Amino acid sequence: MGLLLKTNAVFLTTFFEKVISVWPFLIVLVVLLLAFLWFNQVKNMRRRQHRTDGKRMVGIINPIILLGIITLLIMMLLALPFFFEKLEEAINEKEKDEMLLDPENLINETFEIEGMESPECEELIAELLAAHFGIKMAEASYIDNKASVLYDTTLVSRNRIQKIIEESGFVIKKTIKE
């Protein structure tokens, strides 16, 4: 029984690897099929208009709308593998950054910043700092005019953090080491 399950798992893994390897071809094939269906639907709609002498035929669901909904659903399904691949890459990159940070070299510093006037300013500073390699955490408060940064001193320097803040248009009044 265990050998059968292992064989099925190997089969499924190789099957999905083969499907993913031809995924671009499948996308083109589905897009061509949808284009053909759209063309035929429009052609049939024009034929019906000529047969009914301009009178509009009433139906439960307009076939064009139904085909449009099907097209959108298929395009979303086709995009899912690429979306999940990008999401997995982003998660792996963040985990890799976390593994490289040495807890012994982490320090927390607070920077008094002049010029923050709104929540957007604090979000900008926090996002710019957090995106930088070597910075584990960054928080900013426009009410207190401060930004608190937890970073690895071997990967990023205090001067680099100050430069990031100043390049975004703010002025550092002083630095408080915690």
pLDDT averaged per 10 residues, the chain (length 178): 45 61 74 78 70 57 73 76 73 63 84 90 89 86 92 88 90 78
Q: According to the CATH classification, is domain 103-177 in 3.30.70.20?
A: no
Spell out a b/e string for 123-147, using b for 16 or more CB atoms within 10 Å of the CB, else e. Answer: ebbbebbeeeebbbebebbbeebbb
Query: What are the domain boundaries of the chain?
Result: 2-99, 103-177
Give the model's pLDDT for residue 99: 62
